[in-house]
Amino acid sequence: MMKRYVYINDDELSEDLYCVNRISNRKYTVLNFLPKNLWEQFSRFMNQYFLLIACLQLWPLITPVNPASTWGPLILIFAVSATKEAWDDYNRYLSDKKANEKEVWVVKQGIKKHIQAQDIRVGDILWLRKNDEVPCDLVLIGTSDVQGLCYVETSALDGETDLKTRVIPSACMGIDSELLHKIKGVIECPNPDKDIRRFDANLRLFPPFIDNDLCPLTIKNTLLQSCYLRNTEWACGVAVYTGNETKLGMSRGIPETKLTAMDAMIDKLTGAIFIFQLVVVIVLGLAGNVWKDTEARKQWYVQYPNEGPWYEFLIIPLRFELLCSIMIPISIKVSLDFVKSLYAKFIDWDNEMVDVETGTPAHAANTAISEDLGQVEYILTDKTGTLTENRMIFKRCCVSGVFYGNENGDALKDVELLSAVASGSPDVIRFLKIMAICNTVIPIQSKSGSISYKAQSQDEEALVRAAAHLHMVLVNNNVNILEINFNGAIEHHEILDILEFTSDRKRMSVVVKDRGSGRIFLLSKGADEAILPHARAGQQTRSFAEAVEQYAQLGLRTLCFAWRGIEEEEYQEWSLIFKEANSTLVDREWRVAEACQRLEHDFEILGVAAIEDRLQDGVPETIETLRKAGINFWMLTGDKQNTAVQIALSCNFVSPEPKGQLLLINGKTEDEVCRSLERVLLTMRITESEPKDVAFVIDGWALEIALKHYRKAFTELAILSRTAICCRVTPSQKAQLVELLKSCEYRTLAIGDGGNDVRMIQQADIGVGISGREGLQAARAADYSIGKFRFLKRLILVHGRYSYNRTAFLSQYSFYKSLLICFIQIFFSFISGVSGTSLFNSVSLMAYNVVYTSIPVLVSVLDKDLSERTVMQHPQILFYCQAGRLLNPSTFAGWFGRSLFHDRGMGWMIGIEREFEGLYHLVLPSSTTSSCASIGGISSSDSFSALSSSLIYYSTNDSFIFFVDDFRM
């Protein structure tokens, strides 16, 4: 693995090794804007096509119209697009300028002074004050707190609103603040990356501060760019990543452009029209050359030279290519971009999608995919915080086989539990200590003495509050000392090590030392499958498994608590292994997990806690309505199976027996999963024709085997199943399931509220984030953000359906009006010697495309074929959108035929041509070429009784004009 060495407070060694802290998010510069923007615009096939047409029109020999008819709209479209890009880039420049010129305190040559943020270099020591924004990625080396703590707000980085603790490395403990600006040393860290949750590095300070021992660094020892220092008077850190090499800078990037189903269909139709256009050009070009070499030479007014240039046979086909180029409307992209932006604004302006409780409005971050909302077929949803409120309440518990809270549904009011606490029951007291100690909760004491808690996990906050209610109060949480107030007596516990929770281990542990007795304990909490299998030999865990099952049947979230004593020798031996694992720069995460496994065994299981997470208002009704609209639901959750099933039943995901049926896919081996999968598939095939609500349930272990070894069978199951409940799944598995459904050509929508849902949201065709209690990370990564799950119904049925209907009409109309004017030109060619001459002048063509047929029809963005109330009451109407009934080859063929039918007025011209064939085929000779000139315009009364100045003949190369007047029909 590549790494860098950061020399602290040493300008000579750090100079010019790494970039300065100048931030640049600009896409262009003044010099490269024009060529780069033009290159990007002309990378699109349609723009290349119109550029070719515009260039051909500059050839006077073949152009039937003034080049301005194409160059004008083309330049306008490019100018509008370039102006928008330039404006966006200018705003990025202003934002960068503001950040770059912000003044910060930096130590330079042992002196603290003000410099601009853009002049910070790697290795510089920075000083931050309360509420300051962190200008680059720092390794914390000092704070105003005596324990070396500081608090940061990371909402600008990861969307999480709760404060997080950061701590100085152990090597920097005890260094006086006056000496920090003289500190020397080296930080060994990996090259810049975008992982904001990992920082595997080592610190070595030079004498006289400390000896040369390595001190491991983690993400908890860092302050990352764009975070804010809170509740801390000052903090001091060493710059390790600067400029665009910070973790935030590396995370920036242009998100992948999502192509809607309608965009894909429009591209296919454009390709079909292009092929049709080529056929027309070839046929009419051949016919024109044949007519020129036969009929034209018989006419007295046509004078062709005996020999023409070698490319003479290309002139008429190229004329028809220019004449027929308007079959593909040049304005369609601009028109669609404009109306799609309006669709997004309609979502932003919708007052009925504002969460009254928090004041959070709906927001469309992606302005290009609104019509896809009307074609959603599968919704993949998280559970906690998405379907539920994520307001955790401690409801029940089981300690040493005794159930508390079963009678009144609230353990905190259970007389037996209160008596056990009062009498000092050892197991209950230890259970409460794990609730209060084994967490990352930050207690904040106000001036009045009241204590509030800040937690990154709502589960942990609920447990700490419940413990405090039962007189086990977490009073203070310093770097390595915890203060617990139990019934008025203060207990001090030293935190020796924290074995952090990971999605693979599914548990968290802390190694604590009781300052009173000096004994060392391992306290753990986690999922039942991560705790119960590691119980000590001989302990019966059946009662705990029954408690987990019982609480899950009630839809409660469960956590198992365990502990064991550790001898001093065992801890010292393990500590060396753990320290070494934390010091490595290669595979640190894997080696730390392996070290944790060495300690987490022979648990004494204490009990099970059950936490309630209530459903959000309107969730069952929303799901029922959307299922009637033909939308299938998959629930992807990290909770255990029974909890997820109970929530699914209460949410109307699946009907209870006998109308509904749940099919389980389980197993720990390939053979077990294979048999289970085949059994479920067979049942699905049998019940496919029956009106029964069937769903399958699978856990993360079986899912991993199925996706790896039986992907084809699982894909068939995904196609057959309307509903799926996937439990104990990881964030990567969520994204894999979205990818699986997309590979089956389904339009997918993923919705979630936490950071673990981001990968799923970004993978889906449409990502929806809920601005919930877990922060804004999911909402920021999503295409759309809403305040509550119930607003999804309106987002899809109203905004999605209207957007699809309007876009379907506008796109097909754009082709229709272009085909209409083109067919008139084609019909006219039959009475003008198939010469490729335009019936209309250039100004008329431009006015037709822009003024007469484009701008007025844009008001279709306000069209509502049905009222919003009707659509919400009859969600089955969405079937037409999902099936693409309003935009497909059949509907387009109808518009195509309509354009032909509406050109039937040209029949009178063809009739005149037949009767006055000799008169109407007037083609004037050119003085320099054999190009033909013919009818330029015709006007008449409806009765054809008289034509006055009705036939205008002109040459495109000469200014000669000839009028045929005053003849009678």
Confidence of residue 938 (pLDDT cuts 50, 70, 90): very low
Sign of the dihedral through C-alpha 560, 565, 570, 573:
positive
Strand arrangement, sheet containing 489-499: 402-404, 388-399, 604-615, 557-566, 520-526, 507-514, 489-499, 481-486, 472-477
Q: Are 754 and 459 in contact (CB under 8 A)?
A: no
Q: Taking residues 36-51, what's their average pLDDT? A: 76
Strand arrangement, sheet containing 149-153: 163-167, 149-153, 228-230
Other C-beta atoms lying within 10 Å of the C-beta of residue 220: 16
Identify which has the larger pLDDT, 211 or 648: 648
Whole-number pLDDT of residue 545: 92
Highest mean pLDDT among 187-201, 531-545, 792-806: 792-806
Residue 966 has pLDDT above 50, yes or no: no
Average pLDDT of the residues of the chain: 81
Alpha carbons 399 and 418: distance in angstroms, whole number: 13
Buried b (16+ CB within 10 A) or exposed e, 763-796: bbbbbbbbbbbbbbbbbbbbbbbbbbbbbbbbbb
Whole-number pLDDT of residue 420: 93
Q: Taking residues 957-962, what's their average pLDDT? A: 34
Q: Taking residues 564-568, what's their average pLDDT? A: 92
What is the per-residue pLDDT across 770-797, written as a single tens digit (0 to 9) for each? 886 555 677 877 889 999 999 999 999 9
Bridging pattern class, strands 660-665 and 185-190: unpaired
Other C-beta atoms lying within 10 Å of the C-beta of residue 290: 13
Alpha carbons 718 and 637: distance in angstroms, whole number: 17
Tell me, rounded to whole angstroms, the distance of Cα 562 from its chain centroid.
Answer: 39
Q: Taking residues 126-144, what's their average pLDDT? A: 90
Q: Are 238 and 139 in contact (CB under 8 A)?
A: yes
Q: Are 445 and 455 in contact (CB under 8 A)?
A: no
Q: Taking residues 529-552, what's their average pLDDT? A: 90
For residue 965, what are its two tokens?
Answer: 């007047």
**What percentage of the chain has pLDDT greater than the value 90?**
27
Whole-number pLDDT of residue 918: 41
Confidence of residue 926 (pLDDT cuts 50, 70, 90): very low
Alpha carbons 539 and 603: distance in angstroms, whole number: 9
For residue 558, what are its two tokens?
Answer: 């469960």
Q: Are 57 and 75 in contact (CB under 8 A)?
A: no
What Rg do the C-alpha atoms of the chain give, in angstroms? 37
Bridging pattern class, strands 137-143 and 125-129: unpaired
Residue 925 has pLDDT above 60, yes or no: no
Q: Which residues are catalytic?
A: 382
What is the per-residue pLDDT across 443-474, written as a single tens digit (0 to 9) for each? 888 777 788 887 767 788 899 999 999 999 99
| DSSP assignment letter at 235 | E
Whole-number pLDDT of residue 919: 39
Angular region, 63: left φ>0, alpha ψ -120 to 50, beta rest: beta
Other C-beta atoms lying within 10 Å of the C-beta of residue 41: 16
Alpha carbons 42 and 35: distance in angstroms, whole number: 10
Alpha carbons 285 and 256: distance in angstroms, whole number: 43
Element (H, E) at 28: none
Q: Taking residues 947-967, what's their average pLDDT? A: 33
What is the per-residue pLDDT across 666-686, written as a single tens digit (0 to 9) for each? 888 889 899 999 999 888 887
Alpha carbons 840 and 307: distance in angstroms, whole number: 31
Confidence of residue 934 (pLDDT cuts 50, 70, 90): very low
Tell me, rounded to whole angstroms, the distance of Cα 221 from its chain centroid.
Answer: 30
Sign of the dihedral through C-alpha 701, 704, 705, 706:
positive
**310-324, 601-615, 876-890: the lowest-pLDDT one:** 310-324
Alpha carbons 790 and 620: distance in angstroms, whole number: 9
Q: Are 377 and 882 in contact (CB under 8 A)?
A: yes
What is the per-residue pLDDT across 85-105, written as a single tens digit (0 to 9) for each? 788 788 878 878 888 888 888
| DSSP assignment letter at 256 | P
* Residues facing residue 961 across a β-bridge: 954
Minimal CA–CA distance to 175: which of 137, 202, 215?
A: 215
Confidence of residue 391 (pLDDT cuts 50, 70, 90): confident
Q: Are 283 and 321 in contact (CB under 8 A)?
A: no
Confidence of residue 939 (pLDDT cuts 50, 70, 90): very low
Element (H, E) at 688: none
Identify which has the larger pLDDT, 525 or 501: 525
Other C-beta atoms lying within 10 Å of the C-beta of residue 938: 17
Helix (H, G, I), strand (E, B) or coil at 85: helix
What is the per-residue pLDDT across 836-863, written as a single tens digit (0 to 9) for each? 777 877 777 777 777 777 777 778 888 8
Other C-beta atoms lying within 10 Å of the C-beta of residue 123: 24
